[in-house]
Amino acid sequence: MTEEAPLYSVHNVTKDFARGRRRSVRPALSEVSLVIRRGEGFGIVGESGSGKTTLGRLLVGFDTPTEGEIVFEGRAVVGMKRAQRRSFRQGVQMVFQNPFASLNPFRSIRDTLSDGYAHRRMSSGERDTAMKDLLGLVGLHESMLDRYPHEFSGGQRQRIVLARALSVNPSVLVADEPVSALDVSIQAQVLNLLNTLKKTLGLTVIMVTHDLRVVNFFCDRIAVMYMGRLVEVGDRDTIMNESSHPYTRMLISAAPNGDPEERSERPWVSSELAASEPPAEGCIFAPRCWLRQQLGNPEECVTTQPRARPLLDGPAPDEAHLAACHFAEDVPEQARLAQVS
């Protein structure tokens, strides 16, 4: 990668949905910092309550951070001028999880798609052509323009949602669980389409999901979230195969590997049931952490909140690989030990 300015830089962002002066003990999102590069597939993964959806909505501008700053193409998203705001809004589009709720049942496809052309001077003929091209782009026939959402299946609706998002020529798509509501045989169609669009249109696609298989297929870089915090971010290969955070290791090993010959042994997966509340000052993952146990419960884990920091001493030094663990450098080695025992 060159020294090009990143598309997004997220600086120390916290989002607390609590109203008024009182702050929640654990905000939806705490002190998250990361960068997203132009043209990459960026995955944000986590379990429920990890804050992944909140982060996604902040990136689209649906919500604003309580603290911290999100910079898009060199400009802070909060406090943009009117014209800048419009170009940001249209430049970043969202694809939603539930294709049944993301299309207005009372509006025809033509009517829905026309929203994207509201601010452009076009003759109705030009607009018509543009809409037909758009449908072609997402693999639908132009005759579908005058139909209504209920006439379409989930996969087709998700294509229409994509067409609507693309109608304003965005440079970024934020996709919140774009395939998890779809049938298995339809998921592949939509993922392929997203991949093609990303390549042909040069889109940056930010995928928010719980599905590790999907991020492994789709994303160039992956951020892992846990309880509102960023625990690790790095290249796909690093995160999926050589992770340096005990939570990431646990998450990946918890997913069934899909091979009946090799049923997953899960030495690291700890119960969410037995876990006590995370310490107020220490690491949020400490109560469930296998590494902490293995290292003999070091004091640091419960006294200091680890910050996501670049890993330069590890086996593969990388500026852009961050992990929020005091003992991140020990993770690969300890993981091997854990598996042996």
Partner 1 sequence: MNTNMLDAINAAKPKLRRRITTVPVGGAKAITFQAVVGHRRALLGAILTAIVVLVAVVSIFWTPYDPTAFKTGAPFSPPDLAHPMGTDVYGRDILSRIMAGAQVSLTVAASAVAAAAIAGTVIGLVAGFVGGVLDLLATRIVDIMLAIPGLVFALGIVALLGPSARSVTVALAIVYTWQFARIVRSVVISVRSRSYVEAARGLDVGPLTIMGKDIFPSVLPILIVQVTTALAWGILDEASLGFLGLGVQPPNPSWGSLLIEGRQYLYDAPWLALGAGSVVVVAVLGVNFLGDGLREIVDPRSGRKN
Partner 2 sequence: MTEPLLKVTGLTVEFLGRHGTVRAVDDVSFTIGRGEIIGLVGESASGKSTLGLALMRMVPSPGRISSGSISLEGQDLAALSEAEMRTVRGSRISLIVQDALATMNPVTTIGEQIEEVIRDHGDRSSRAERMTRAATMLREVRLPNVDQNLRRFPHELSGGMQQRVAIAEGLVLGPQVIIADEPTTALDVTVQAQILSLLREICDTRGTSIVFVTHDLATVAEICDRVMVMYAGRIVESGTVREVFRQPAHPYTKALLSGLLPLAGEPLAELDTLSGQPPRPEDWPTGCRFHPRCPLGEALDHPEICMTDDPHVDESQPHWAACHFAELQQPALTEEVAG
Shortest Cβ distance from residue 311 to partner 1 (Å)? 36
Cβ neighbors of 324 (< 8 A, separation 6 or more) are 229, 230, 231, 232, 245, 283, 306, 307, 308, 309
Is residue 291 within 8 A of residue 308, CB to CB? The reply is no
Helix 154-166 vs helix 124-137: angle between axes, to the nearest 10 degrees?
Answer: 130
Site string for partner 1, 132-161 (x = CB under 8 A): -----------------xx----------x
306-335: contacts with partner 2 (CB under 8 A): none
Joined tokens for residue 128: 């018509």
Question: Which among partner 1, partner 2, none contacts residue 139 (Cβ within 5 to 8 A by kind)?
Answer: none
Going by C-beta distance under 8 Å and a sequence separation of 6 or more, which residues neighbour residue 340? none
Q: Which of 189, 318, 330, 338 binds partner 2 (CB under 8 A)?
A: 189
Q: Which of partner 2, partner 1, none lies near 240, with the C-beta cut-off 5 to 8 A by kind? A: partner 2
Residues 139-168 close enough to bind partner 2 by CB under 8 A: 153-156
Exposure string (b/e) for 236-260, b if CB count within 10 Å is 16 or more? bebbbebbbbbbbbbbbbeeeeeee
Q: In angstroms, rounded to a whole number, what is the distance separating the alpha carbons of residues 9 and 70?
A: 6
The span of 44-52, 98-106, 120-128, 196-204 binding partner 1 (CB under 8 A) equals 98-106
Give the binding range for partner 2 (CB under 8 A) out of 64-72, 87-95, 166-174, 184-192. Answer: 184-192
Asked if 167 interacts with partner 1 (CB under 8 A), we say yes
CB 287 within 8 A of CB 275: yes
Contact 70, 11 (CB under 8 A): yes
Q: Tell me the closest approach of the beta carbon of residue 250 to partner 2, in angstroms.
A: 7
Per CB under 8 A, 210 contacts partner 2: yes
Residue ranges with strand state E in the chain: 8-15, 29-36, 41-45, 67-72, 75-76, 92-95, 172-176, 204-209, 221-226, 229-235, 309-311, 318-323
The answer to whether 60 contacts partner 1 (rule: CB under 8 A) is yes
Helix axes 246-254, 331-340, angle to 10 degrees: 40
Q: Which stretch binds partner 1 (CB under 8 A): 59-67, 70-78, 217-225, 301-309?
A: 59-67
Q: Considering only residues 49, 62, 266, 280, which one is a binding residue for partner 1 as defined by CB under 8 A?
A: 62
Q: Write out the residues near partner 1 by the rule CB under 8 A.
A: 60-62, 86, 89-90, 92-94, 96-98, 100-107, 111-112, 115-116, 118-119, 149-150, 161, 164-165, 167-168
Q: Write out the residues near partner 2 by the rule CB under 8 A.
A: 47-48, 153-156, 183-189, 191-192, 195, 210, 212-214, 216-218, 236, 240-241, 250-252, 254-261, 263-264, 266, 269-274
